[in-house]
Amino acid sequence: MNNIEASVPVREFRFEFTGNAREYFGIWIVNVLLTVLTLGIYSAWAKVRRKRYFYGHTRLHGSSFSYLADPRMILKGWGIAMVVFVVYSIVARIAPGTKPLFFAAFVLVLPWVIVRAAFFNARNTAYRNIRLNFDKNYRAAVKVYVGLLLLVPFTLGILYPYYAYRQKKFILDHSGYGGSRFSLDVGAGKFYGVYFKAMGIFIAGLLLMAMLAALLGVAGMSVAEFGKVLKTGMVTSLLLVMVATYFFVMVYLQTAVANLTWNNVTIAGNRFHSTLHFGRMLWIFFSNLVVIVSTLGLLAPWARIRATRYRFANLTMCASSDLDDFIARTQETQTGAAGEELSEVFGVEIGL
Amino acid sequence: MISLKASRYDGRSSQRQEVGLDFDEYGFVRVHGTDIELRYACTDVRLAPAIGNLPRELRFPDGSLCEVAPHPLLDGLLATAAGQFASWLHRGENSFRYALAALAVTVIVVWAGIEYGIPVLARQVAYALPLSTESQLGDGALEALDHFVFSPSRLAEQRRTRITTLFTKMKRAGSQRRDYQLVFRRSPRIGANALALPSGIIVLTDELVGLAQHDEEIVAVLAHEVGHVDHGHSLRWVLQNSASGLLIASLTGDILSASSFAAALPTMLLQARYSREFEAEADTAAADYLRCEKISLTHFANILKRLADAHIREGKDTIDYFSTHPSTVERIERLRAIALQRDIHTP
């Protein structure tokens, strides 16, 4: 902190999510119905309505966000993604030998997909009638998403946290609002810290599994009938520990990476403060999963609203100004949605 | 004249201005506030479709935006981009009764799709495609299996010839859809088993032959496998699983990404369900053949029972939570029902 920064009075603006489950349920069920009846065509309009609802209810300093995508563009992108998905799933089943080929092609188009998706999302997100923007730097994308990604296996995964860090940095450093750029000001070391802790959780899970497996070995040698019952119980608990470990690691990574990223992002002298709590996140994710599965998806809208509300309730902007000084920057707005839809179908994580 | 309060963002800076909107009876709207005095024709103003109870967005030709609290007359004053459909949609989304109706229709459509739509479509497509398509599915499958799970059969030549003769007879009696081929393999790994590969190759393990106490039992198993091939099950399996995967993805796409944890569970359940249907279809085909040959279904039931016992004994079934085969008890019950029906119909 230097003197000039310290002298600027910092104001705190809380993010706030005001959506409610009852209202969203109606939007969701109509979306699902029309999507099914139109064999998926409506999903483009459904996505726009859903996002408009969520963006519109996300508020910061008295104004809300807007989602501006044109459903027809999304439909086109969705069509391309579907063709790719269907060809992939059928060919991969008929000739499993082609999987490496698909993987190679996937790695090669990944930078393109990521850049297009990030651009599409940024240009269709607005706050106070000014759109976010994204610089389409394919060269930098290839460095991160092909170069680094291919190095990861050769370093036995040791490079992975660095790769994760560079991913975040690539997206944020190329995103902007108005004439200002976001910037992620943190070293890769912090990311290693987060991934080491995740590794710790994973190893604890493995130890627990090893213990159970050892017990299983003992049980296998014991009296036939009793051993059999015990064995089934052991196998069940082994599976449970496995799933739980996976769950803990995933939620921990999501929480810690989100906090780390937001707490180190700046834009035009404004900072953010994210206070997501691991235990709380664990509870929300777990209870959401239980509720969604046990209501056969019926309460999914409620779960989604609840998770979003928690996330934004824990995000604050530490602003050095009144947020009035951002000036619009001209960048083309129309862009294909193929990248965005491909990344969604194949589960590529982008976004902040 | 209608006057509304609005927040205005000019689209050039991130400043917010509080303004008033006056809609006059000549089709114009006046935007006024501190230092602002603007007039637009209503036909030039675009009103974004309403969603929930969110403020309505009015976009002006100069790129500015006004946010207004929802007002019942707005849709009449300004043209919505999506027109009548949008307001109908909005009404549907906000009515509890419509939401319930939508829910009911969704459940029925999804259920019908999973139960009838996808299987019927998959069958039509599978039967319409040339036989070579399905054969390609199995190309290289035997080589792969030989490499990983099978070793050469150690059955006596005589025994093999005997079974092959029985199989050839079945080929002649059954449908002539394709060339079947029977191969023998040994596999301590998968134990007593028989497999039908899409190309029409049927694999019989030494362990299964050893388990059978009568030739009729082997005939029953072979007839079951031929049933799989005859009904194009492997191609239908691929088609149905792709289609149901898409359906699940489109349903849960609003909730989770297609690759996530919670989406995998229903997909797995559906796959298990479809393969149970295929097993039942193959069982019926086998029962039909056995009846033609005047072989008692008891033989089929016996070998099923012994197979199940063998698998439990070897501990191969312990982790089979999502068993793709219907339970043996269930299958034997079904065979008994088929036999009973036949007894009534055949005097």
Q: Residue B94: which of A26, A57, A95 has the nearest Cβ?
A: A26
Task: Please give the Cα distance from B27 to B40 (Å, whole number).
Answer: 9
Residue B155 has φ and ψ, to the nearest 5°, of -70, 150
Which pLDDT tens digit goes with each residue over B153-196? Answer: 888 888 888 888 888 877 666 555 567 788 888 887 777 788 88
Residues 6+ apart with CB under 8 A from A18: A57, A59
**CB B287 within 8 Å of CB B300:** yes
Adjacency order of strands within the sheet including B194-196: B151-152, B181-186, B201-205, B194-196
Most A CBs within 10 Å, among B31, B54, B234, to test the A interface: B54
**CB B32 within 8 Å of CB B22:** yes
The answer to whether residue B106 neighbours chain A at the CB level (below 8 Å) is yes
Ordered by start, the domain boundaries in chain A are 10-186+250-345, 187-249
Contact A33 B52 (CB under 8 A): no
Q: Which of B322, B271, B286 is nearest to B122 (CA)?
A: B271
Length of chain A: 352
pTM > 0.90: yes or no: no
> Which position has the higher pLDDT, B188 or A240?
A240
Residue A153 has a CB neighbour count (10 Å cut-off) of 10
* Token pair in block for residue A23: 């209202």
To the nearest whole percent, how much of chain A has pLDDT over 90?
48
**CB B286 within 8 Å of CB B227:** yes
Q: Residue B252: which of A127, A297, A325 has the nearest Cβ?
A: A297
Task: Please give the Cα distance from A175 to A136 (Å, whole number).
Answer: 9
Residue B36 has φ and ψ, to the nearest 5°, of -125, 135
Enumerate residues 287 to 316 of chain B having a beta carbon within 8 A of any beta carbon in chain A. Answer: none
Contact B106 A36 (CB under 8 A): yes
Is the pLDDT assigned to residue B84 strictly greater than 80? no
> String of b and e for B177-193 (b: at least 16 CB within 10 Å)?
ebebebbbbbbeebbbb
Task: Please give the Cα distance from A289 to A302 (Å, whole number).
Answer: 11
Least confident range from A296-300, B35-39, B80-84: namely B80-84
CA torsion through residues B253, B254, B256, B262, sign: negative
To the nearest whole percent, how much of chain B has pLDDT over 70?
80
Contact B99 A30 (CB under 8 A): yes
Is the pLDDT assigned to residue B317 strictly greater than 50? no
Mean pLDDT of A152-157: 88
**CB A306 within 8 Å of CB A288:** yes
Q: What is the dihedral of CA A35, A36, A37, A40, to 10 degrees?
A: 50
Residue corresponding to tokens 């091939």 = B229
Contact B9 A62 (CB under 8 A): no
Contact A231 B245 (CB under 8 A): no
Is the pLDDT assigned to residue B54 strictly greater than 70? yes
Contact B102 A29 (CB under 8 A): yes
List residues bridging with A63 in a β-sheet. A60
Contact residues, chain B, for A130 at CB < 8 Å: 9, 11, 13-14
**CA-nearest residue of chain A to B91?**
A26
Residue corresponding to tokens 């959506």 = A19
Distance from CA of B9 to the nearest CA of A (A): 6
Q: What is the mean pLDDT of chain B?
A: 78
pLDDT at A316: 95
Residue A201 pLDDT class (50, 70, 90 cuts): very high
What is the secondary structure of A44-111 as a DSSP string? HHHHHHHHHHHHHTEEETTEEEEE---HHHHHHHHHHHHHHHHHHHHHHHH-GGGHHHHHHHHHHHHH
Q: Which of A111, A120, A192 is nearest to A144 (CA)?
A: A111
Task: Please give the Cα distance from B64 to B58 (Å, whole number).
Answer: 8
A48 CB burial (10 A radius; 0-12, 13-18, 19+)? buried
Is the pLDDT assigned to residue B258 strictly greater than 60? no
Residue corresponding to tokens 């969603």 = B51
Contact residues, chain B, for A48 at CB < 8 Å: none
**CA-nearest residue of chain A to B259?**
A347
Q: Residue A33: which of B67, B102, B242 has the nearest Cβ?
A: B102
Contact B242 A46 (CB under 8 A): no
Contact A29 B10 (CB under 8 A): no
Q: What is the dihedral of CA B236, B239, B244, B247, to 10 degrees?
A: -140
Count of alpha carbons within 13 angstroms of residue B241, beta-carbon side: 21
Least confident range from A250-259, A319-328, B104-113: namely A319-328
Most A CBs within 10 Å, among B8, B46, B51, B96, to test the A interface: B51
Phi-psi category of residue A119: left, alpha or beta, with phi > 0 → left and psi -120 to 50 → alpha? alpha
CB pairs under 8 A between A and B: 159
* Token pair in block for residue A315: 């995000």
Is the pLDDT assigned to residue B4 strictly greater than 90? yes
* Token pair in block for residue B40: 């637009």
pLDDT at A202: 92
Most B CBs within 10 Å, among A30, A86, A308, to test the B interface: A30
> Which position has the higher pLDDT, B263 or A137?
A137
Q: Residue A326: which of B13, B93, B110 has the nearest Cβ?
A: B13
**CA-nearest residue of chain B to A288?**
B262
Task: Please give the Cα distance from B273 to B33 (Å, whole number).
Answer: 65
Sketch out chain B's domains with CATH numbers: 2-94 (2.30.29), 131-345 (no CATH)
pLDDT at A54: 96
> String of b and e for B236-260 (b: at least 16 CB within 10 Å)?
bbbbbbbbbbbbbbbbbbbbbbbee
pLDDT at A221: 58
- DSSP 3-state of B65: strand
Is the pLDDT assigned to residue A2 strictly greater than 60? no
The answer to whether residue B69 neighbours chain A at the CB level (below 8 Å) is no
Residue B293 has a CB neighbour count (10 Å cut-off) of 15
Residue A204 has a CB neighbour count (10 Å cut-off) of 13
Contact A347 B258 (CB under 8 A): yes
List residues bridging with B203 in a β-sheet. B183, B195
List residues bridging with A127 in a β-sheet. A65, A130
**ipTM of this model?**
0.81
